[in-house]
Structure 1
Amino acid sequence: MANGSRQAAWEFFGTELKRQREDAGLTQAELGARVFVSGAYIGQFEQAIRKPQLDIASRIDGILQTDGIFERLCRKLIDDPRYADYFAKAAELERLAVQVCDFAPALVPGLLQTAAYTRAVTLAMNPFAPDEYIDDKVSGRLERQRILKGATRPVYWVVLHEHVLRIPVGGAAVMAEQLEHVAALTRERAVVVQVLPYEAGAYAVMNGTLRLMEFEDAPPTAYTEAVYSGSLLDDPAVVKRAQSAYDLIRAAALAPEASLTMIESAAEDFRRCASTT
């Protein structure tokens, strides 16, 4: 499903939700209370600003007696082949988060990637894939980045290992553009970025990525990812341990100002290298 048609489908979801809610004689606040979210969230669902989780859509069907239509619509819309099965749920949750914290040990996180960088990563992992597959992966990743541009964008905090700044993904020109993009978003205050330097030593040996997500009306979750696998963690004790691990990494990282200086310096190095080849 193309980006435009997917958004149009979510808008239909919202319009239909509003119609069914009003036919049932319920306000946004009243429906929200019955499905355990705020009235403001119901309003954002109706305006297609946020997308409901499957369990919320199912509860809405139960309250409005709509014979499962909202759950079916929601299931169809979040069943997106552009995302790996193990990441699809995390991708859906990030749209609802009020704060997202990422630790990236090897690659720039998807929410910060340029199209060229995404294409290079996807091609490296799928060297025999057809162009349509690569294009879908790129468009899916770029679509995710819309959450950083809206009025309801989450607080986004990223810790990049210094590896990320040094590995020439896609070549020098691609890396220069990518790091310049991260620096620009940092200067625009769309994201806070810290770099975990090589000198941090043992703090840098965490296996795989780590993401923490906080929500307005739901408990926080953690997501970890390794090669072709990912785990969404919601046990409060496990999430608390993940938060502690992230806090230690963040404390060992460079300050945001020093991190920006290192990112811009690495971008300049790649830009000079690109200009001489």
Structure 2
Amino acid sequence: MVNGIDPSTSMAALFGARVRRLRTAAGLTQAELGALTHVVSTRITKIERASGAKPTLELARALDAALGADDLLVELWPYVYREAFPDWSRKFMEYSERAVGVRQYAAHVVPGLLQTEDYARAVLGLDALLTSEEQLEERVAARMGRQDRLASPDRPELCVILDEAVLRRPIGGPAVMRKQLRRLLDAAEERHITVQVLPFDQGGHEAMGGSLTVLLLPDGSEVAYTEGADYGQLIEEPSNIGRYKLIYDRLRAAALPPIMSLDMVRSAMEGNYRGANVPSRSERRRVAQEQLQQSSRGRLRGGGRRPPRPRPRP
């Protein structure tokens, strides 16, 4: 216990204790460390005491570099960041990191595990409670970091069902959407990832209110998680999980087969968001003028004379 702060009480307390230990070992005062990381000394005090605002990712990186922590603080930061979420949300994240199988239905946006950085920034930027650009970038970095597991040796099997609305809603604009849909097509080429689309013509279903995730854990147990615009619910009771598994199975049966689903993704990318690669009007005008000038120079090189007309045959 350091200065009455128990590192075991929270990740923020553990982070603060590590900062203090590293700072002391480096022979730095709080003011000197603040100067090295471009924050006031009271900010360092609050971090070490786990009081006030939690450290940002940018500050964690600066502290790590200044104290020569070899990425220790940067690796600890996501757990500190996670404490800002409700208990049920944090628990779901913990389950997700251990899951060997992930089955998701997404009603409105591409699931976080398959989002591009620009798409994630556009989605997360819609939160009315965001306080700063820095906070937005922290959330984007955290989301991108969670995708690393898809490339790790213990990566889970990922099965994603996208409502057709996910393909049609232009989050971030045409260029962002085109890149995001390309990401879906590329991801689906991986053997451990399956992408399906639930078309509009299937009508209503039991999960229309929001997203649904069913996780398979290493011990064979399962948990379910439902989420809407401003709520989330973690279901751990086995007797209740069966209902959500049935809902997911029905959605998967109603969705297009993977090959047809990818055709729909490709069609949306090349149809709805074709404008992402179309030159602007001013660019087209500039190219047209250049072509006219080239054509004029070609006539001048020919002496400006018209080619002789063919003589009529007698």
Provide the TM-score with structure 1 as the length reference.
Answer: 0.69
Question: d(CA) in 1 for partners of 2:126 and 2:238?
Answer: 36
- 8 Å CA contact retained: 2:107, 2:162: yes
Structure possessing the higher radius of gyration over alpha carbons? 2
- Size of the aligned set, in residue pairs, is 206
Task: Give a deviation string over 1:45-88, Cα, whole Å, max 9, x none.
Answer: xxxxxxxxxxxxxxxxxxxxxxxxxxxxxx98634248732422
Task: Give a deviation string over 1:144-196, Cα, whole Å, max 9, x none.
Answer: 11111111101100000000000000000000000100110101334101100
Q: CA deviation at 1:139?
A: 0.4
Matched residue type, 1:121? V
Larger proportion of helix: 1
Percent identity among equivalent residues?
Answer: 37
- 8 Å CA contact retained: 1:82, 1:140: no
Q: CA deviation at 1:216?
A: 1.7
Question: d(CA) in 1 for partners of 2:231 and 2:214?
Answer: 17
Task: Identify the residue that residue 140 of structure 2 maps to in structure 1.
Answer: 138
Matched residue type, 2:85? A
Task: Identify the residue that residue 78 of structure 1 maps to in structure 2.
Answer: 79
Task: Identify the residue that residue 238 of structure 1 maps to in structure 2.
Answer: 240
- 8 Å CA contact retained: 1:83, 1:140: no
Matched residue type, 2:196? Q
- 8 Å CA contact retained: 2:168, 2:272: no
Task: Identify the residue that residue 35 of structure 1 maps to in structure 2.
Answer: none
Question: d(CA) in 2 for partners of 1:241 and 1:127?
Answer: 33
Question: d(CA) in 2 for partners of 1:257 and 1:115?
Answer: 26
Task: Determine helix, strand or coil for the equivalent of 1:222.
Answer: strand
Match among 118, 125, 128 for residue 116 of structure 1: 118
Q: CA deviation at 1:124?
A: 1.7
Question: Equivalent residues in 2 for 1:149-228 (5 A)?
Answer: 149-203=151-205, 206-217=208-219, 219-228=221-230
Distance 1:128 1:89, change over 3 A: closer
Distance 1:77 1:180, change over 3 A: closer
Question: Equivalent residues in 2 for 1:226-265 (5 A)?
Answer: 226-265=228-267
Q: CA deviation at 1:228?
A: 2.2
Match among 98, 106, 126 for residue 100 of structure 2: 98
Identify unmatched segments of 5+ residues in structure 2: 1-14, 19-75, 281-314
Question: d(CA) in 2 for partners of 1:263 and 1:128?
Answer: 31
Question: d(CA) in 1 for partners of 2:83 and 2:121?
Answer: 13
Question: Equivalent residues in 2 for 1:37-52 (5 A)?
Answer: none
Q: RMSD in angstroms over aligned alpha carbons? A: 2.4
Q: CA deviation at 1:271?
A: 4.3
Task: Determine helix, strand or coil for the equivalent of 1:103.
Answer: strand
Task: Determine helix, strand or coil for the equivalent of 2:81.
Answer: coil
Q: CA deviation at 1:270?
A: 4.3
Q: Greater RCO between the two (CA within 8 Å, min separation 6)?
A: 1
Stretches of 4+ aligned residues off by more than 4 angstroms:
none
Task: Give a deviation string over 1:3-43, Cα, whole Å, max 9, x none.
Answer: xxxxxx9xx9xxxxxxxxxxxxxxxxxxxxxxxxxxxxxxx
Distance 1:142 1:223, change over 3 A: same
Q: CA deviation at 1:96?
A: 0.4
Task: Determine helix, strand or coil for the equivalent of 1:260.
Answer: helix
Identify unmatched segments of 5+ residues in structure 1: 1-8, 13-74
Q: CA deviation at 1:125?
A: 1.9
Task: Identify the residue that residue 269 of structure 1 maps to in structure 2.
Answer: 271
